[in-house]
Structure 1
């Protein structure tokens, strides 16, 4: 009753485990950004449909999959290769879609991030995501930290999705977030965050993702952001309670924030020089 969509690029390490975790579905689609490793071979060996498309942006890639693939079922469960639905989540999703109201077109779930063998219960900043949607009623917005917008009501699931962002090592995480920080710096330098900065939305919006967008936009405007983020994660989110994994993760996130600050300044200097020289 549920089709599965897995987004990939060079995921020969994580894809086998991901495919095994969704073996309960007979309609699994691997949508690949032209991998150069054994990703396609592994997908075929597990009986998954395999489609490739040149990557041109996170939201565009995901929307191309949602809109272009021949899904067998009305409901689509969306995954990255380093994520694993728990057996309880698989059962709950199938039970929900079997008797869902026509007004509900999506479901939100809690994702558990793991680092150093530890669930980052306190350190994880954004644990809630919409991942189960009705076909044709959802679309990704924004190219960095993309958000899935659903046309209709969104329900909540109680079972969890497990995520292993460090499965390929800290080096891979840093390389990926080096790319993300460049994209975020461009957003800040373009001034888009100022238009989205709203205390009212940040504090009182009913939609979690709307609150997160406004909070991040306000955060972009604060001085000493890396230090503030570290203090927030350590003492407000209580990353300390996650032990050494929580402390390390808070520090990595603060370094990532510092990348954004430095790259934003660099972009602004380059643009100022360009204006003076023209």
Structure 2
């Protein structure tokens, strides 16, 4: 049985995770892979499992997703957006069927609850952001922010029952660290252009994604962010209740925040050093110009007082 929804999976070297992801959406007859130039067997695996493939060089997370939304000829109005390390559960799949059948015209998106796993342990307490908009009318949404992107929805958002399972450590710890090293660089660069935010929106807006976007702005302005994040995860969310997995994940998230802070400081100091060098060069140029002007003036003065009998 097929569902009246298309599926979009974004990939880059996902040969290890993609087969299980595609198996979890075998109910869909319109599965698309938006690949960023994989160098492994990702594309071949996708084609062999019946998915259609579009390849586009990666130029940012929001840009890549927006390209898919606007340029891929999806068969259906509704679209389920996945990463290769995510799997919709059977209950979520059943809920998607009902959601699409019952959604009013005002509803443009469905909010899913995601379960993050550290190895085989569900991070019930340690997971910071469990809700994500992944089921959408693709003509009514767009993405902003190039890392930890935020979806902007034109219309109402309704909840969808069931879990979307996420396995961020499926390729091992080294892969997670490498990926978050890249993310931290992008976050640090993103912070240069951090916009103003509303305190009211950050705390009370009904849209979780918009609320989170404004919360991030305030969070980035705080000192000692890694420590604040640790206290929030460990004492407020009680991540220790997830056992060793929760404690390890807490430390990893704090380390990630620390990398962002270091790279932000590095960028500020680098810009400051550059500004000082430019100022020094300009001052040197002015001094050199002043010396030359003085030399010319002295020479002109000597010429003016020179005796007419001097040869």
Scaled by the length of structure 2, the TM-score of the pair is: 0.87
Q: Is the 8 A contact 2:6 2:79 kept in 1?
A: yes
Residue in 1 that maps onto 2:65 = 62
Cα displacement string for residues 85-106 of structure 1 (whole angstroms, at most 9, x for unaligned residues): 0011111101111222011011
1:24 aligns to what? 27
1:223-242 equivalence runs, <5 A: 223-242=223-242
State the partner residue of 1:133.
136
Query: Residues 119 and 170 of structure 2 are in contact (CA less than 8 Å); yes or no, is this contact kept in structure 1?
Result: no
Q: CA RMSD in A?
A: 1.0
The answer to whether the 8 Å contact 1:92/1:159 transfers is yes
- Offset, 1:40: 0.7
Structure 1 stretches of 4+ moved >6 Å: none
Deviation at 1:204, TM superposition (A): 1.5
Query: What's the counterpart of residue 210 of structure 2?
Result: 210
Looking at structure 2, the residues matched to 97 and 165 of structure 1 have their Cα atoms a distance apart, in angstroms, of 28
1:109-168, CA deviations, whole angstroms, 9 ceiling, x for partnerless residues?
Answer: 100000021100110001100000113111111111101111111110111100000000
**Which deviations, in whole Å up to 9, do the C-alpha atoms of 1:47-72 show, x marking residues without a partner?**
10011000011000011111111111
SS of aligned partner of 1:223: coil
Say yes or no: does 1:166 pair with 2:206.
no
Unaligned runs of 5+ in 2: 279-311
Correspondence for 1:255: 255
Match of 1:220 in 2: 220
Alpha-carbon distance in structure 1 between the residues aligned to 2:127 and 2:197: 22
- CA shift, 1:205, in A, is 1.6
Residues 1-278 of structure 1 mapped to structure 2, 5 A cutoff: 1-188=4-191, 190=192, 192-193=193-194, 195-278=195-278
CA drift at 1:231 = 1.4
Which of 1 and 2 has greater Rg? 2
> 3-state SS of the aligned residue for 2:139?
coil
Aligned-partner Cα distance in 1 for 2:243–2:68: 39
Output the TM-score relative to the length of structure 1.
Answer: 0.97
Tell me, yes or no, if the aligned pair for 1:196 and 1:213 is still in contact at 8 Å: no
Q: Confirm or deny: 8 A CA contact 2:150 2:210 kept in the other structure.
A: no
Contact 1:3 1:73 in 2 (8 A): yes
Alpha-carbon distance in 2 for matches of 1:219, 1:134: 31
Please state whether the residue corresponding to 2:22 is helix, strand or coil. helix
Deviation (angstroms), 1:221: 1.6
**8 Å Cα contact 1:109/1:158 also seen in 2:** yes
Partners of 2:28 and 2:161 in 1: CA distance: 20
* Distance apart, 1:199 and its partner CA: 2.2
- Which 5+ residue runs of structure 1 have no aligned equivalent? none
